[in-house]
Amino acid sequence: MKVGFIGLGIMGTPMALQLLNKGHQLTVHTRRQVPEAITAAGGVRAANAAAVAKEAEVIITMLPDTPDVEAVLFGEHGVAEGLKGHAGERKVVIDMSSISPMATKAFAQRINALGADYVDAPVSGGEVGAKAGTLTIMCGGDAAVFQRVKPLLECMGKNITLVGGNGDGQTTKVANQIIVALNIAAVGEALVFASKAGADPAKVREALMGGFASSRILEVHGERMIKRTFNPGFRIQLHQKDLGLALQGARELGVALPQTANAAQLMQACAAHGLGELDHSALVQALEIMAGHPVAKG
């Protein structure tokens, strides 16, 4: 297919490469310089998002936050401009960013009014999953449109689910981020406790991996906490943004999310100490500061 890809950051670049490596034609646009790996694999740079939309059958966005998606879709030289006047088969916009579910519903309506379809398809799995093509993809949109674009999504992910209509994919992603944040906080507390009590945190983690406390977070992020490898797969500041979406939604729905609020405060503490660009596993550093004790020496 002729695909457009807008946003070539930590996640977007390996996702775009998955599409190129599986034979799709790719027109790309990003705020920064297009990575050499993309052009080497056959990706063609467009001057702006409107040019991407004019060229592609399916336009994928992978951007940091709700305002970024709105600007790319509806701002000057945005995707909407490139969709106007198209007379062929309906084009599809797939937003794979993690943004507001309510804004997503509004964006979908505006894209539909231009004669195109919209799927929200946020992802989970981090940079590792993006590079391996094993992302979990949570989709919201029309069932027939989802089936049309599913082969593209299968290039980038393994667990691909149509949850419901537009906005439901983003709601699922917010729920995912709540679970992940709380698990990171739990693993961090456990390892800080064990280390300060004098136990070897690596051995504690090894023991826990064989019991009911075992989890993907303990496996991957527990190891990061012990080895002090906090280079970003998913940055604290982005997870902080996602928890903000959760708490905003909770206020609108009249739902209490006390543990989510606590995890958000831990991430805020990390940001206040200049750690916002680190991987979200570095949330443990807020706990270490409070305990006056690191899980392990870096």
Q: What is the pLDDT of residue 64?
A: 92
16-64 per-position pLDDT tens digit: 999 999 999 999 999 989 999 999 999 999 999 999 999 999 999 999 9
For residue 147, give both structure tokens.
């089936």
What domains does the chain contain, in order, with CATH numbers? 2-164 (3.40.50.720), 172-291 (1.10.1040.10)
For 174, other C-beta atoms within 10 Å of its C-beta total 24
164-191 per-position pLDDT tens digit: 999 999 999 999 999 999 999 999 999 9
Q: What is the pLDDT of residue 88?
A: 83
Angle at 256 between CA 220 and CA 125, to 5 degrees: 25
| Cα 189 to Cα 109: distance, rounded to the nearest angstrom | 43
Return the closest-CA partner of residue 120 out of 130, 132, 111: 111
For 222, other C-beta atoms within 10 Å of its C-beta total 28
201 contacts 195 by C-beta, under 8 angstroms: yes
Low pLDDT (below 50) residues in the chain:
none
110 contacts 72 by C-beta, under 8 angstroms: no
pTM score > 0.85 for this model? yes
In this structure, what are the phi and psi dihedrals at residue 113, rounded to the nearest 5 degrees? -65, -20
Residue numbers annotated as active site: 173
